[in-house]
Chains A and B, each alone.
Chain A
């Protein structure tokens, strides 16, 4: 009974209703969408996971991270390496290594043979990198634009490194041609549907986690750090720790998105992780409303969908459209579409006679 009353407290009902509606819609999608469209939607959901993390780090914490592609890519590549090894069988060598490499699996690939350690590494490696970089940068009070530039340079360096190490990373081609996902045949439509449902469930879980984080003390601190970092410090808190946590959470979410993206899309390449895609993640978040809960998810899915449908018809049109979105949304609608409703509501009483 008490659980029910807490759940139905005003303010929570709307969040819960939105969350429930989203869950129902996601569950119904496989019934109405063609397998091709469902596959696309699953891909968009994986990209939306990155957006959820960015919403937390950038929208709530003010950390403009231009390098989420790195964490997305780490998750994706680790998963791809595991799938490649699993396809090759025990002791086998992935096909592309026979083509470009020495024909031997390098030592640092070996931990990814076991599914358990692969999943563990997908979570731990990005978290460790984000914690290390975040700690190094935030404790020295490198912030704002400086952090943005460093995160972007990280993305550039990561993509260049992947391209340069063709023998062990597949180079520009990336890794592709996976046959099975933890033993489930990827050619089977039923398993494709299962992957979609996994992605949907993970995304909902992430939204729930971010929701809990934002209503917690941590969430209050994060917003406080964004708005007045020095005051937070004077109150005796450590802003660097708060930022590192937000950055690590965002990184892990991006990595999980990347890891699920690989079996669904069937490929990951440096083109998915460099400077350009890393910034591309931000526009969906900005359109939806960077500091809102569902805004980043909806915005990201909408942008992915627009990208697919516009590029299908006008190949060069998408770039103009994306550029225009960045200019118009950020310059003239910094709160995203979520702020439009609020603005209209505030304007309405003025127009109506008192």
Chain B
């Protein structure tokens, strides 16, 4: 029974990582932009949930409102960032990382000045309190909700990329920017939409994090490093890799934690990823190209 409990803990952690990494894999994986402010977009989503609850009051209604609004808030922040800074720097991916780190610092401090340094709490709705009993195992409803939400987000994103005209444009620009432009696709507009969606997913991730703990200015920083590791281990360009890597990281963390301590588990996960990159330097799933990079 212990193993199953750990399995659930791992999948649950994996689903949180997946929500955090999904948007990153879109912007980093497909556009080559390393957005360190992604974590702060998550933080913005979390504070959106907090503000909405303050306005609406009812925990259930506010959660359902916060999910789409968190998406919009995260997305708009992303759009703003892309339009002002990132689009100047597509040729300098490493420098983008540092610039967006600066943005992250500023956003954190803004949150600290607006909402105060101490953490705030968002109440979970009544229908998410308690646990579901399955075979003597108590599965918290919030965890199940996040797992389900992660699945919904992955499926929605996969469908959007595969079956909509927008998704086709995004994939075309990713595969060959020049050829896509020659075919009449505006790569600027496509970049912006991609960034909006990726950042919006961060907003959703932030809203769900309010179900797991309190909200503070450094909420995003706690997840961003792990989320980046998921993208690195998962490989670039496909959602499949991100999903598998997120779950694998979550499970590893849970099982290592069970046999050692949380801090040693972090180190072991890091070692495991470096070892894994020895086998597959491009990550789990990689799109084969003839380029040297």
A interface, CB within 8 angstroms of B: 62, 64, 66, 133, 136-137, 140-142, 144-146, 148-150, 152-154, 156-158, 160-161, 163-165, 230, 275-276, 279, 282-283, 286, 316, 319-320, 322-327, 330-331, 334
Task: Find out whether the CB atom of A154 lies under 8 angstroms from the CB atom of B270.
Answer: yes
Question: Is A327 touching B85 in the complex (CB atoms < 8 A)?
Answer: yes
Flag if B273 contacts A163 (CB, 8 Å). no
**Closest-CB distance, B282 to chain A (whole angstroms):** 9
For A153, list chain B residues within 8 Å (CB): 225-226, 228-229, 270, 273
| Chain B residues whose C-beta falls within 8 Å of the C-beta of A64 in the assembled complex | 94, 97-98
Q: A156 and B113: CB pair below 8 A?
A: no
Q: A164, B261: Cβ atoms under 8 Å?
A: yes
Inter-chain contact A323/B109, CB cutoff 8 Å: yes
B17 at the interface (CB under 8 A from A): no
Knowing A145-B97, A153-B229 are in contact, say whether A140-B105 is a contact too (CB < 8 A). no
A323–B225 alpha-carbon span in the complex (Å): 19
Given contacts A152-B228, A161-B264, contact A334 B95 (CB under 8 A): yes
| Contact indicator A144/B281 (Cβ below 8 Å) | no
* Beyond A149-B225, A160-B266, A331-B95, 9 extra complex contacts between A and B, CB < 8 Å: A145-B93, A146-B277, A153-B270, A154-B270, A160-B267, A161-B267, A275-B225, A326-B99, A331-B89
Q: Number of B interface residues, CB 8 Å?
A: 45
| Given A323-B109, A327-B99, A149 and B228 contact (CB-CB distance below 8 Å) | yes
Q: Which residue of A lies closest to B113 (CB)?
A: A316
Q: Please, could you name 24 A-B residue pairs with CB atoms under 8 Å apart, sorted by A?
A: A133-B274, A144-B94, A145-B32, A146-B232, A152-B228, A153-B228, A157-B270, A160-B262, A160-B263, A160-B266, A161-B264, A161-B266, A275-B225, A279-B101, A283-B98, A319-B106, A320-B109, A322-B105, A323-B102, A323-B105, A326-B105, A327-B106, A330-B102, A334-B92
Q: Is the CB of A330 within 8 A of B95?
A: yes
Which B residues from 164 to 178 make CB contacts under 8 A with A?
Answer: none
Measured in the bound complex, the distance between the Cα atoms of B163 and A90 in whole Å is 73
Residues of A within 8 A of B94 (CB): 62, 64, 144-145, 148
Chain B residues touching A, majority SS:
helix
Given contacts A153-B228, A320-B109, A330-B95, is CB(A230)–CB(B262) below 8 Å? no
Across-interface contacts of A164 in B (CB, < 8 A): 261-264
Chain B residues with CB below 8 A from A165, complex form: 263
Once the chains bind, are B102 and A327 in contact (CB under 8 Å)? yes
Interface residues of B (CB under 8 A from A): 28, 32, 34, 85, 88-89, 92-95, 97-99, 101-106, 108-109, 112-113, 221, 225-226, 228-229, 231-232, 261-264, 266-267, 269-270, 273-275, 277-278, 281, 292
List, in ascending order, chain A residues with CB within 8 A of B85's CB: 327, 331
What separation, in Å, do the CA atoms of A325 and B34 have in the docked complex? 18
In the complex, what distance in Å separates the CA atom of A133 from the CA atom of B274? 8
Given A161-B267, A322-B105, A330-B102, CB of A149 within 8 Å of CB of B95 = no
In the docked arrangement, what's the CA distance between A153 and B231, Å? 12
Q: How far is the CB of B80 from chain A (nearest CB, A)?
A: 13
- Chain B: minimal CB distance from A172 (Å): 12
Contacts of B98 in A (CB 8 A): 64, 279, 282-283, 286, 326, 330
Main secondary structure of the interface of A (DSSP, over half): helix
Q: Tell me the bound Cα distance from A163 to B263 in angstroms.
A: 8
A83 and B112 CA atoms in complex are apart in Å by: 38
- On whether the beta carbons of A144 and B262 are closer than 8 Å, the reply is no
With a CB–CB cut-off of 8 A, which chain B residues contact A145? 28, 32, 34, 93-94, 97
A133 to B267, CA, bound (A): 13
Complex CA–CA separation, A158 to B225 (angstroms): 13
Q: Are B274 and A319 in contact (CB under 8 A)?
A: no
Chain B: CB-nearest residue to A136:
B274
Interface centre among B98, B112, B269, B274 (most CB of A within 10 A): B98
Q: Which residues of A contact B99 (CB under 8 A)?
A: 326-327, 330-331
Chain A's closest residue to B270 (CB) is A157
Q: Cβ of A319 and Cβ of B108 under 8 Å apart?
A: yes
Chain B, Cβ-Cβ closest to A166: B263
Please provide the 10 A-B residue pairs with the shortest distance between their CB atoms, ordered closest to farther.
Answer: A164-B263, A326-B102, A323-B105, A323-B106, A327-B102, A319-B109, A140-B281, A323-B102, A156-B225, A149-B228
The answer to whether B92 touches A157 (Cβ under 8 A) is no
Within the assembled complex, what's the spacing in Å between the Cα atoms of A327 and B96?
Answer: 9
Q: Which residues of chain B are near A160, meaning CB under 8 Å? A: 262-263, 266-267
Whole-angstrom distance between the alpha carbons of A322 and B104 in the complex? 11
CB distance from B257 to the nearest CB of A (A): 11
Q: Which A residues are in CB contact (< 8 Å) with B101?
A: 279, 326
Given A156-B266, A164-B262, A165-B263: A148 in contact with B102 (beta carbons within 8 A): no
Given contacts A136-B278, A142-B281, contact A320 B106 (CB under 8 A): yes
Q: Which of B105, B228, B269, B278 contacts A319 (CB 8 A)?
A: B105
Once the chains bind, are B106 and A144 in contact (CB under 8 Å)? no
CB-CB < 8 A to B231: which residues of A? 149
Contact partner of B277 (CB less than 8 A), chosen from A137, A156, A275, A327, is A137
Chain A residues with CB below 8 A from B281, complex form: 140-142
Whether the pair A149, B93 counts as a contact (CB closer than 8 A) is no
A141: chain B residues at CB < 8 Å are 281
For B112, what are the chain A residues with a Cβ–Cβ distance below 8 Å? 316
CA distance A157 to B226 in the complex (A): 10
Q: Which residue of A lies closest to B105 (CB)?
A: A323
